[in-house]
Amino acid sequence: MQLMHNTADDAATQSAPKLTYCTNIHAGEAWPQIMQSLADCVPPIKTSLGASNLGIGLRLGHAAIQALNNETTCSELLEFLRDQYSVFTINAFPYGPFHGEPVKENVYAPDWSTSERLVYTNQVAELLGKLMQGNSVADNFGSISTVPGSFKPWVAGREESIRHNLVECVAKLVDIKRLTGVEIALALEPEPFCMLETIEETVTWFSEYGFSGESCQQLGKLCGVTPAQAEQLLRTHLGVCYDVCHAAVEFEHAHDSFAALQAAGISIPKIQLSSALRVATMDRDIAAKLAAFDESVYLHQVIQRKKAGGELLRFLDLPEALQKLETRGTGLGDEWRVHFHVPIFLERLEHFDTTQFFLSEVLEVLRDKELSPHLEVETYTWDVLPAELRSSDISTAIAREMQWVMDKLGCKPVAN
């Protein structure tokens, strides 16, 4: 779904980004389950938004991609999409199961040091090229979000294999562009406790690894181009997926983050519009209520900012942070931000704030600058939210989130 500005101000002269939502909110790994969730949930969203063509940000794990290698299965998807829906971005971050069982740090496995991650992502890219082939030149850009290299505790000794495999993937994307005309960018998604965690770390990695002389030499040999041409291809096909929830948890600054990425020549193929839990001043009563968000499926990294001095304390998961508070008082009086995606239309929950204010800051920047061609609402924790936050069905909640974004941007949906 492409956006069009409602007013004839300067923003209307920008290339309008495409807005979608990520289907990782829907449970299911096998293709029949995914197809059923699309058939059940997507049409009501499209109707609610009054969109003539609704963008779908597919999340496809390894099992689904294997099924879609079959021509009959792929034709089923193409027939569903025909003239009603479009796919221009795919979430290839979770390789394996993502709902209904503990995921935690396994969501980063296999990481980019492995051939499994490379082969899987190449297959995702081939599918996206097939889904977008035949689009106009102005509508032939696709994005794939992925693991930011690796889980930070796993990185030591894997740096070179991670860099090597990412360049191999870029070579595949260059080949897809030559064969289909579809330009696809791989977008590494910084996340707390990952190899790429902060924007500062991300800029450093691209300088030392992603766009390094070694990477340019490697891609040049793979694609038969000069190192200078290879660098341009790397900058075209390898960038960042800026997840707003992750950035908020890290206490990043929107303007500074985007400025740093732009100054380093790092593209932002996708921005995931998301919001986290926030406690402005922690006390024991609030901590007891926060325990309701301690569930067993996902990691909920916690970053605390000390009131005195602003030092950041990092905890891998919510139980660890709550235990330190209980036994040592760590975090009392401080601001806490928790990696728990909550509906973006909520400024406040019953007992907590959210980081919606930060998302609003990001959207304000997007009103003025062309930062990314793809905007994706991503609230995947619907089935693990406390029951009182699930008062409506998924389709209604997704449509409400997307409408909230359009209202903030002063946009309306138009046909692609």
Query: In the beta sheet, which residues pair with residue 353?
Result: 278, 348
Cβ-contact 341, 381 below 8 angstroms: yes
Closest C-alpha to 203, from 257, 159, 153:
257
Which tokens is 114 given? Answer: 């492995």
Average pLDDT over residues 105-120: 98
Cβ-contact 206, 163 below 8 angstroms: no
pLDDT above 80 for 37: yes
Strands 275-279 and 353-354: antiparallel
Q: In this structure, which amino acid lies at residue 207?
A: S
Three-state secondary-structure class, residue 43: helix
What mean pLDDT is reported for the chain? 94
Average pLDDT over residues 407-415: 80
pLDDT above 70 for 333: yes
Which tokens is 373 given? Answer: 């061609």
Average pLDDT over residues 106-121: 98
pLDDT above 90 for 390: no
Q: Which helix (H) or strand (E) holds 67?
A: helix 62-68
Query: In the beta sheet, which residues pair with residue 305?
Result: 312, 335
Cβ-contact 144, 187 below 8 angstroms: yes
Closest C-alpha to 352, from 413, 269, 293:
293
pLDDT above 50 for 332: yes
Q: What pLDDT score was predicted for residue 15?
A: 67
- Distance (Å) of CA 83 to CA 54, 80, 86, 182, 233: 10, 9, 8, 19, 32
Domain boundaries, the chain: 2-275+354-414
Sign of CA dihedral 377, 381, 106, 87: negative
pLDDT above 80 for 107: yes
Model confidence band, residue 240 (pLDDT cutoffs 50, 70, 90)? very high
Average pLDDT over residues 311-332: 97
Closest C-alpha to 26, from 382, 340, 341:
382
List, for residues 181-214, the tens digit of each pLDDT value.
Answer: 999 999 999 999 999 999 999 999 999 999 999 9
Strands 183-188 and 141-146: parallel
Q: What pLDDT score was predicted for residue 13?
A: 42
- Alpha helices (H) along 82-198: 115-132, 159-180
Closest C-alpha to 322, from 292, 354, 280, 356:
292
Fold of 2-275+354-414: TIM Barrel (3.20.20)
| pTM for the full predicted model | 0.96
pLDDT above 50 for 42: yes
Q: What pLDDT score was predicted for residue 171?
A: 98
Q: Walk across the sheet containing 411-414 and list its strands.
A: 58-59, 89-91, 141-146, 183-188, 238-243, 270-273, 374-377, 18-21, 2-5, 411-414
d(CA 52, CA 45): 11
pLDDT above 70 for 12: no
pLDDT above 50 for 10: no
Model confidence band, residue 6 (pLDDT cutoffs 50, 70, 90)? low
List, for residues 275-305, the tens digit of each pLDDT value.
Answer: 999 999 999 999 999 999 999 999 999 999 9
d(CA 281, CA 66): 47
